[in-house]
Structure formats: structure tokens, C-alpha cells
Chain A
Amino acid sequence: MSLRTQTIVYAGVTGTTTSYPAGGAMRGSGILYFMLKDHLGSTSIQTDSIGNVVGDQRYYPFGETRILTGSMYTNRLFTGQREMTGSGIYYYGARFYSPKLGRFLSADTIVPSYADPQALNRYSYVLNNPLRYTDPTGHKPCGDGEDTDCDGHKQDPNQNPHPHNPPDPQKNQNNNKNNGCGQQGNYSPKCPGWHFYTSTYLVCPAELHCTIEEMIDYLSRFAFPGQYPSNPVRNTDINPVGLGPLSLGPIELGPYSMGPLGEIQTFISNGGLTVKNVTQPGHIFYDGIIIRTVYKDENGDWYVSTYGYGNNVNPGMDTANQVFGPGIFHAANQRMESVIEAHH
């Protein structure tokens, strides 16, 4: 491999960038060098073509240079990332990293694993375990060979992976074909945390003569549990969800008296006759979707059908979903029915 140079024009200024490899062979100034990496991919030894060591660099755990002898003809040093010349900081793609501080210089834009307390500090480097993990993207730790999904943990085929893996729908589909359980968000009965429930509820008998416009409006006011009916949903709204409203004697505890459980995003389709509630990361019943549709049967009765499914990330939530989900929506439908009755 030779040094790869590239002429770039940015903001009207022309310059030349030179790319250095982090390991392998490299030709610079007509001389062939070999770079040897340690277990983290850090460039540690550089030799010439006949094996003489021309440079030796060792690192402290968080990447500060510990020993440097000779010369290293690359700027891809600690974990193979590019060191910014003269500044002592590294460019990790999404962010800059300071080995002196052992911290990134800006917060991560994602929390790669919200269930892991070490990941909640958005400045921390590789879950504060730099001897084991690297961070190729600046977004999330990447570990040993068993960490195939690069989330800082060994890959367990029986676990539903976390929500922030790189998207690859095609890969997901292929995995689904292979073992029935793919990467994140791949809804499948074959994956852990699967739940599915359905319910149908008569909300407006034919004798009340509900119109389609009314039903669209009612659905938007009873789109999810705990919704204030005075606050109809709009397409793409993100809403907090509770189990209520509950009351304790004369005290009205409000719609989120048993929550909030988290957030859902609501999508309206089918001319307003269908709402889809997609759980957002952090919701205790993440990852799942609930689809509610109003429809009229041949007798003129209006029903609400609800079905929910998904693969819950949090252990045990699939059972809770399966057991309590229908009841929660049954209660919402009862409230919807009572409001419809009151207005006819």
C-alpha cells in the first residue's frame, strides 16, 4: 500500500490530503515500511522493509503516548485513529477525542445503549474500558471479535439488540431469513420480547348514527392511553403516554398518574381512520407499534380495532404487554364510548 494523496477543493480552497494506513505496509519517499498494530489496532511498531525497527510507540490506556522511540511515519496512531498534528487530539469521525482527558470533546449525539449506565455519560470514551474497546465511529464502543454488532457487548443471538445500530434493512431481512432474528427493530415472533395482542370494541352503535367525520375526530382524541381528549393528535406528533386517567376518590390524578411510561410517535393515515403509535427509545414497552383503526360494519356499528406487536427490549415487558395491553386499550375504548354516548 502506498500513501494515498487526494486533491480536494473545499470552500474554494484547494489542498492536498494524505491518507496514512494504521497497519500493514506503506511506501513513503520511496521506502517501504511495515506498521504493526496492537490488539486495539494502535500503531505500535514500524519497521523498514528488512525488519529493522524504525519507530516504536506505546500508549497509556486512554491513548496518551507513553513511549516514543524513533519515528512513526503515520498519523493514524491510537486505535488506528488520526491524530491531529500538533494538537494532541484525535479525530474519531463523529467527534474529537482527547487522550489526555480520556474524554471526547463533545457529547455523543446518541446514547448507544441506554440500559448501560456507563453509556449515559455522553463524553466518556468506550464505556471507560479503553483496554478492551475501541470506537471506530465516535459514536459507540466496538469490542473484541465476539462483539460483532459493535455495541460494546458480546453478541448474544438470543438478545434483541439495542436501537442505535447502523441501519441495514437488507441485512435485517436476510438475517430474518437465516435465523428469524436479525438486528435491531426486526419485529419477529422468533425474536425475544415478542408480543402481539388485538382487541375490537364497539364504540358507536348504529342507532347513534355516528358519521365518519366524527369517528375520525374521536379516534384522534383517543389515539393512545392517557391522552387528554381535549388534545387531539396530529400526524407525526410525539406524545407522552400514561395508563390513566386514574382517580383516587375525589382527586383526579391525571392521565399520567401511572406514568409517564415513555413517548410514542403518532402517525395518521387512511384518511384519519387509522393511527399508528410507534414507541420511542426509552419507552418501557419499546420496541413496538400499536395500530388503531375505526371501521363501520355492515350493520352500521362503528368499531375500534387495536392491535399491537413488537419485540420489547426490556426483559419481562413482553409479558406485561401481552397481559395488560388489551386491558389498557379496553379502558381507552370505554372512555371513547362514553364520550360518544354523551354527545348523541
Chain B
Amino acid sequence: MFTPRTKLMMVFFLLLDLLLGIWIGITIKTFQMENSVDTQHAVRVIRITIDPAEREALFAQLQTFADKWRYAIRIAPLDPKGESFSIQMWRSDMKFSGLYPNDPGTLDIGFFYTDPARPVPERYFDEEISDLKNFISQIPGATLTVH
């Protein structure tokens, strides 16, 4: 009824359709997975207000805090003039990320779970923020508020 060539073509296109269907299925699934990526809201947000002249003292205190609590810390300039900085601290259970200055003379820091699927107790954040407050209080005129 069908010539071998026609049969071959039919098999070829059937396989092609099958592969196309699999590809579309995987693609849609991928889109669904990507759409499930969520925003991470900070567990705690703090605002440190300092005299801009005390910036280096602030960074030094953050470094000391990071050393004490075993954080890897990164303070990196965010502009060619070196006037604004990205500040990040990272540990296996908690991480901080902030921007100085967000508004003039202010450092806003968000505190996050490193792995939201394995959250640590929120009191850990409070304890460390309380200790950070002690470090910051050593800078003249600096304040730390939790939002």
C-alpha cells in the first residue's frame, strides 16, 4: 500500500512530532519552575545612621563583627568615585546584604536565611543584631534601628 520510502518518511515525521512534543512539554515545565522563583523578603531590616566622616570606622566595626560571628565579608565600592559600597556577609545559615549609603549617611542591611528551605530560629538574627548594635554604638553618633 505504501512504498518503503513513504513508510520511512512517515516514521521520520512521527518521531519528529514526538520529539517536538517532548521539547514543548519540557519548555512549559521549565517556565513553570522559573515562575515559582520567589522574592526573598529580609527576615530583619536594619538601618544604621552615621556621620559620613565615620565611614571607615563603620567598615572596621563591621569587619570586627564579621570576624567574631564567622562571616565571610565583602565591602566593595559601587561607583567609580568610591562613595557608595555594597556590603555583604555570608555564613552557611545566615547572610546579610546592604548598601551604603542608601540615603545620605545611612546603611540599610537586609538579613536573610542563606537557605530559606532550612531556616534558623529568628532569635539568632535578634541576638546577632543586638551584638552588632554594641559594635555600632562604639562609633560616635551612630545609631542602629531595626525596621
Contacts and interface: CB of A to CB of B under 8 A. Distances in A.
A287 B80 CA distance: 13
Contact of B103 (A237, A259, A265, A270): A270
Interface residues of A, number: 50
Contact of B82 (A139, A176, A280): A176
A170 B75 CA distance: 10
Contacts of A236: 42, 45, 97-98, 108-110
Given A237-B110, A254-B31, A260-B34, 18 more contacts: A109-B70, A109-B71, A109-B91, A163-B74, A169-B76, A172-B77, A184-B74, A186-B76, A187-B79, A231-B39, A234-B41, A236-B45, A238-B110, A242-B34, A267-B99, A278-B99, A289-B78, A289-B79
B11 interface: no
A280 B76 CA distance: 12
The SS class assigned to the B binding surface is mixed
Please classify how large the interface on chain B is, using the bins under 10, 10 to 19, 20 to 34, 35 or more: 35 or more
A109 B92 contact: yes
A169 B30 CA distance: 41
Going nearest first, the 3 A-B pairs with the smallest beta carbon separation are: A185-B76, A236-B110, A167-B75
The SS class assigned to the A binding surface is loop
Contact of B80 (A184, A187, A267): A187
B129 to A, nearest CB: 14
Contacts of A280: 97
Interface of B: 31, 34-35, 37-42, 45, 56, 59, 63, 70-80, 82, 85-86, 90-92, 97-99, 102-103, 108-110, 112, 147
Contacts of A84: none
B39 to A, nearest CB: 5
A238 B97 contact: yes
A82 interface: no
Nearest to B72: A110
A129 interface: no
30 contacts: A109-B71, A109-B72, A110-B90, A165-B74, A167-B74, A172-B82, A173-B77, A185-B74, A185-B76, A185-B77, A186-B76, A186-B77, A187-B80, A233-B39, A234-B41, A234-B42, A235-B110, A236-B98, A236-B110, A238-B112, A240-B38, A240-B39, A257-B34, A260-B37, A265-B110, A267-B108, A269-B103, A278-B78, A280-B97, A289-B79
